[in-house]
Amino acid sequence: MKVLICDATDPKALETIAEAGIEVVNRPDITPEELEEAIPEYDCMVVRSRTKVRVPVIDKAAKLKAIVRGGVGLDNIDVEYAKSKGIQVLNTPSASTQAVAELATGYLLALARHIPQMTASMKAGKWEKKAFSGIEVSGKTLGVVGAGRIGQGVAKRAHALGMTILAYDPFVSEGENIEFVSLDELFKRSDFITLHVPHIKATHNIVDAKSIEMMKDGVYIINCGRGGTIDEDALYEAIKAGKVAGAALDVYAEEPSKGHKLYTLDEVIGSPHIGAGTAEAKARVGEEVAQNVIGALS
């Protein structure tokens, strides 16, 4: 049995897989063209968010028994087509919960107090006490779009900071210290909005010009979920107009995102899809990946 590692994966996970008698081929920088050429000889493949597993790859995967996604979202895999070919599609849904929830919470505080902008000002040799008056999150309302593991993790942390929590999720209706409301009501009542939904047809540009118009003036928007769930052009215009006070983004409609016009705005802070990028999360993801590979091929 052979497994192809297509993206960076914890070395301990690769050791665990090899110890189970499975041949591991580690090619974390494999290109789409190289993947199509190589995939016919493999029984399993491991991907993260970089590698796309689309129909052309699946059609050439003559021996493939399983696709293991290190992480939560499966939007980079044509899941139903893979399943129609008898290929299992597995992920690690809980491994990165803490890391992403903490990043979103960090962004919540960073937006409220302009922490990145103040740091840049200080590094430029300035002392601008009056330029960076912030707000307190205590007493404010956080709207959580998507109340799964990560969304509820953010809600728990925000409640501890003294916030009122609203949530919208068509599949979840209960959560500690959370009031579940319609999406429109969430948009209208929230001071901060954080997105934790997959990018599917129903969530494509769930935040767009129409929904932004419903929101409070001076709202803050955080997206550590999936790119494609925010209309980035609409967000840009809303920030320029002063409707949205600021945004924090870890994910984008097109990745890698370089030179995006949103980053010409001082009100926007962000990161390069690094939500699960902690040592602890990487280790947990690797452990679950290893067990999924071994289970699928045993």
Residues 188 and 291 grouped into a single domain: no
Residues 24 and 143 grouped into a single domain: no
Residues 7 and 91 grouped into a single domain: yes
Question: What pLDDT, in 10s, does the model give residues 121-179?
Answer: 999 999 999 999 999 999 999 999 999 999 999 999 999 999 999 999 999 999 999 99
Q: Write the DSSP assignment of 191-259 as a string of letters.
A: SEEEE----SGGGTTSB-HHHHHHSPTTEEEEE-S-TTSB-HHHHHHHHHHTSEEEEEES--SSSS--S
204 among known catalytic residues: no
Q: Is pLDDT at 73 greater than 90 in this prediction?
A: no
Structural domains of the chain, count:
2
Q: Domain containing 27 — which CATH number?
A: 3.40.50.720
Residues 11 and 114 grouped into a single domain: no
Residues 129 and 102 grouped into a single domain: yes
CB 68 within 8 A of CB 289: yes
Give pLDDT, residue 93.
Answer: 85
Question: What pLDDT, in 10s, does the model give residues 74-112?
Answer: 889 999 999 999 999 999 988 999 999 999 999 999 999
Catalytic-labelled residue, pool 196, 273, 284, 288: 273
Residues 39 and 137 grouped into a single domain: no
CB 243 within 8 A of CB 220: no
CB 180 within 8 A of CB 168: yes
Please, what sign has the CA dihedral across residues 271, 192, 228, 44? positive
CB 28 within 8 A of CB 8: yes
Catalytic-labelled residue, pool 226, 232, 284, 288: 226
Arithmetic mean of pLDDT, 50-67? 96
Catalytic-labelled residue, pool 36, 237, 255, 267: 255
Strand partners, 229: none
Q: How many of the other CB atoms lie within 10 Å of CB of 213?
A: 11
273 among known catalytic residues: yes
Give pLDDT, residue 75.
Answer: 84
Percent of the chain at pLDDT exceeding 70: 100
Residues 182 and 81 grouped into a single domain: no
Residues 87 and 147 grouped into a single domain: no
| Domain interval for residue 203 | 97-270
Residues 146 and 243 grouped into a single domain: yes
Residues 88 and 158 grouped into a single domain: no
Give pLDDT, residue 71.
Answer: 86
CB 161 within 8 A of CB 149: no
